[in-house]
Amino acid sequence: AQTIHQWPVAEIKAVGSPLSLGCTIKGKSSPNLYWYWQATGGTLQQLFYSITVGQVESVVQLNLSASRPKDDQFILSTEKLLLSHSGFYLCAWSRDTQYFGPGTRLLVL
């Protein structure tokens, strides 16, 4: 069975500090991977997707970047956090539908 893990579960960070969020998929080779972001009370927005290792497509520009260093790993990062980065970050993989991880809650102060 496939499992998807996200880390950390939650973070409180200062404006201007760096950020790295991780996502790992187990039990599925060469998955399509996705990052989503949801502001509190807001609509879920797709940020990035990746079809293969080393290739990432940006969907929405939010001063964030993503990388796929391994087949089963997807990383979301920024060097300088903004207040507007606060929210809920979800990673997903897809086959016939999208399967979501448990998410990371980020609060930027």
Partner 1 sequence: GQQVQQSPASLVLQEGENAELQCNFSSTATQLQWFYQSPGGSLVSLLSNPSGTKHTGRLTSTTVTKERRSSLHISSSQTTDSGTYLCAPSGTGGYKVVFGSGTRLLVSP
Q: Which of 7, 13, 24, 45 binds partner 1 (CB under 8 A)?
A: 45
Shortest Cβ 18–partner 1 spacing (Å): 24
> Which of residues 18 and 54 has its CB atom nearest to partner 1 in the complex?
54
> Which of residues 29 and 43 has its CB atom nearest to partner 1 in the complex?
43
**List of residues 6+ apart from 70 with CB closer than 8 A:** 53
Rg (CA), the chain: 13
Shortest Cβ 98–partner 1 spacing (Å): 6
Q: Which of 57, 69, 77, 107 binds partner 1 (CB under 8 A)?
A: 57
User: Is 7 near partner 1 (CB under 8 A)?
Assistant: no
Q: Which of 7, 53, 73, 100 binds partner 1 (CB under 8 A)?
A: 100
Q: Quote the tokens at residue 89.
A: 């970050």
Nearest to 93 by CA among 28, 22, 7: 28
- C-alpha 27 chain-centroid distance: 19
- Give the type of residue at 9: V
